Structure 1
């Protein structure tokens, strides 16, 4: 009998290897969630010297006032920086900075700085999402070398809260909680080297199959989300609409994308909206998979889990999101106004992505740092084919505490060579911030619906 069990175990292991399946964690490991680990898999305890506190549940939903447009008050408005990192003292802190941050301090020695504030572990999500993460830990497995997920439909969020390798960390960012169906009104700018800029305004929508009553769950089993982006300004671009059906396994079933061109009044398939295809109206300053700091299929890279470390990352960026600011206050030559930023010491998961042999992408390597509490990317260093550091991404994060949703205030992508950058997600001057929980139907996210969405 013992021999039979050994043979059966061996056969199972060979089957898993043959199909490229990575196993879920055991009941004993999953029991750490909510105990020694937070419900999403971060270390519950603080660090040795207390500069990173223990996680105690994140910000409560009543942490601050919410104005009529949906903008949140800063719960930490009275705090002052503990210290500021500049080009002059950067060496003192280099072990807690990325190569990209050090390069920015050197490139813009007179203006780029990192104001470091007390650390607050503010990330929190609803209880039902914590339960979903626990289900993921027990049941979700990676297939096809990590390019797809299996047994994920019932959990929907945080595929691997106790990750074993780099690709699983990446999947946690891709499958993190975004507040259900959400609509936002945001602005993008790509300033010239002298600081002049033009604005592109978007109305974005994200909707999830499980939150859409007319969607057949079986037919949409490989759909992670539906995304629609309508350009509202400038006039020459207004009415153009992008529609994406984001699939879970994009090797098995590639991302489906369509573009409606308001000038031509035509809907066309858009296979270029993937990998290193150009980002929408971004003046060549970002790729399609730079959106959300990283999005889309992971299959072109090998993902190495370097480990965990403590770093100064953008966090609790409520000041940067203030509706009292104008875009002129935020957008400066070379980089955003660092006086409005806030950095804190947090533990991050460090992952190195290396382009696979035979694959093509303008980024040969990406060095990525994921916040342990939210699984959201905080920093990404991008290298070109010569191994030269090229672009540096910073995700200025905040917790939308009234809905318990970790998210971005602003995504910045700096081109060290060109001396330009892209700022995406600003809403300081917009009519509203985020609208969570709007009603969506499958009919809203079909190519046929793009004409209606694109009416100027």
Structure 2
């Protein structure tokens, strides 16, 4: 493992200027602040996660006042979430008649969908609620990561970070992307979810998967980056629907530095009745996902979860965008799945959009590399570091695909997670959706039955044999 880079000396006047730049969102990689000065910004001039706590000048984005950390009084843990903002009214709707007015605050994928389906694809905008919060142990570790976390191998790995956001005061695009990869979504995650493909002819293939994840990065016994042994988390998924996939499954380790070690994993297919070791090309880059029929590829998961090495990443700044937030209605079990998953696009009615400050990074494919996407633009929520959108371009510079991730606070924990996401194929007029909670209820972010021994080849064989 490489040694951390030593900090450069800065004068008091330069420190003051740098802190001002950080707080206003204009962060440069041309300087390195002393770790203690940086860390003391968290929880004072910045939120504990590194966001700007202030309201926007026009008041549309309110101040962050701690987020939502207490469930509604009548909420029962394990039951569907109660919408704490059910009384909010729609402020306005964005459609083909006013999209130009709002274009500066819309990812390209949203503009493209409105243009492709005029009068049908709309975005209902609600009051902004900065609900996101995290447990105190995440805040403490995030603060401790300041000054000790470092990029290694040209940004393809990190060292010195665990238990919190890796770079809460980022200096470049690689650090911003690592904040997404290290955002908190529970230590022991369990969920039964619905997904599937909506095809251009209006037919839908429903997919049901049981997921569990164990986070080494957030495990309480992790006390150094060496304890991680190059592992962020392990993930197992088993399918029961459709029939052709019933009894299939995977167990995969999401490694930190995927150049040093591509994501290792095991696959089980019922037609062979054998556990097979996944080759690296099946878990990385453009490898097609088993259940998505070519619509979604390996590094599309969670909007981006792959190796960063094929792209040159640049930081485009932080500015307000309309993003999917507090989407409690979209996981309401009172709604039928077929009422939400409709031809062409998801039913806009239960989807809530709000104006939030968003980090924007851009990845351009390096010369000599090949990938379905020659350019990726990724949008990340400042309060949670969750990726909330991607614009995906081919080598001709055309927008061909795009993803939208929807944020919800599991206030009983508390933790904001990407509750579900959709990938639109603009050219073909089809889409893939994943992680929908309508049918089976919310995820459990700290399932006590999950431990690190429940993953790998033997555990996968037991899981698919039940």
Flag the 1:230–1:216 CA change in 2: closer, same or farther, 3 A. Answer: farther
Q: Of 69, 72, 97, which residue of structure 2 is paired with 1:63?
A: 72
Contact 2:345 2:431 in 1 (8 A): yes
User: How much does 1:390 deviate?
Assistant: 0.6
Q: Could you say which residue in structure 2 is the equivalent of 1:34?
A: 43
| Pair 1:177-2:184 in alignment | yes
User: How much does 1:445 deviate?
Assistant: 1.2
Contact 1:185 1:204 in 2 (8 A): yes
Q: Could you say which residue in structure 1 is the equivalent of 2:199?
A: 192
Q: Gaps (5+ residues) in structure 2?
A: 1-5, 9-30
User: How much does 1:157 deviate?
Assistant: 2.4
Contact 2:196 2:432 in 1 (8 A): yes
User: How much does 1:92 deviate?
Assistant: 0.9
Contact 2:77 2:412 in 1 (8 A): no
Q: Could you say which residue in structure 1 is the equivalent of 2:457?
A: 447
**TM-superposition CA deviations, 1:88-122 (whole Å, max 9, x none):** 11111111111211111100112100111000001
User: How much does 1:274 deviate?
Assistant: 1.4
Q: Of 131, 134, 143, which residue of structure 1 is paired with 2:143?
A: 134
- Point out the more displaced range, 50-59 or 206-215: 206-215
Contact 1:23 1:141 in 2 (8 A): no
Please, what is the CA RMSD of the aligned residues? 2.2
User: How much does 1:441 deviate?
Assistant: 3.1
Secondary structure of 2:345's match?
coil
Q: Of 142, 147, 160, which residue of structure 1 is paired with 2:167?
A: 160
Q: Could you say which residue in structure 2 is the equivalent of 1:19?
A: none
Q: Could you say which residue in structure 1 is the equivalent of 2:283?
A: 273
Count of residue correspondences:
436
Q: Of 410, 421, 424, which residue of structure 1 is paired with 2:434?
A: 424
Contact 2:320 2:358 in 1 (8 A): yes
| Pair 1:50-2:34 in alignment | no
Contact 1:180 1:436 in 2 (8 A): yes
Q: Could you say which residue in structure 2 is the equivalent of 1:235?
A: 243
Report the Cα distance in structure 1 between the residues aligned to 2:222 and 2:312, rounded to whole angstroms.
38
User: How much does 1:425 deviate?
Assistant: 0.9
Secondary structure of 2:115's match?
helix
**TM-superposition CA deviations, 1:312-344 (whole Å, max 9, x none):** 111110011101111111011110000111100
Flag the 1:354–1:409 CA change in 2: closer, same or farther, 3 A. Answer: same
Report the Cα distance in structure 1 between the residues aligned to 2:222 and 2:245, rounded to whole angstroms.
32
| Pair 1:298-2:298 in alignment | no
Q: How does 1:9-408 map to 2 (within 5 A)?
A: 26-63=35-72, 65-67=74-76, 69-152=78-161, 155-209=162-216, 211=219, 220-270=228-278, 271=280, 272-408=282-418
User: How much does 1:217 deviate?
Assistant: 8.6
Compute the TM-score of the two structures, normalised by the length of structure 2. Answer: 0.89
Report the Cα distance in structure 2 between the residues aligned to 1:247 and 1:280, rounded to whole angstroms.
20
Contact 1:307 1:350 in 2 (8 A): yes
Contact 1:243 1:258 in 2 (8 A): yes
User: How much does 1:73 deviate?
Assistant: 0.4
Compute the TM-score of the two structures, normalised by the length of structure 1. Answer: 0.91
User: How much does 1:401 deviate?
Assistant: 0.7
Flag the 1:298–1:291 CA change in 2: closer, same or farther, 3 A. Answer: same
User: How much does 1:68 deviate?
Assistant: 6.7
Report the Cα distance in structure 1 between the residues aligned to 2:309 and 2:321, rounded to whole angstroms.
28
User: How much does 1:250 deviate?
Assistant: 1.0
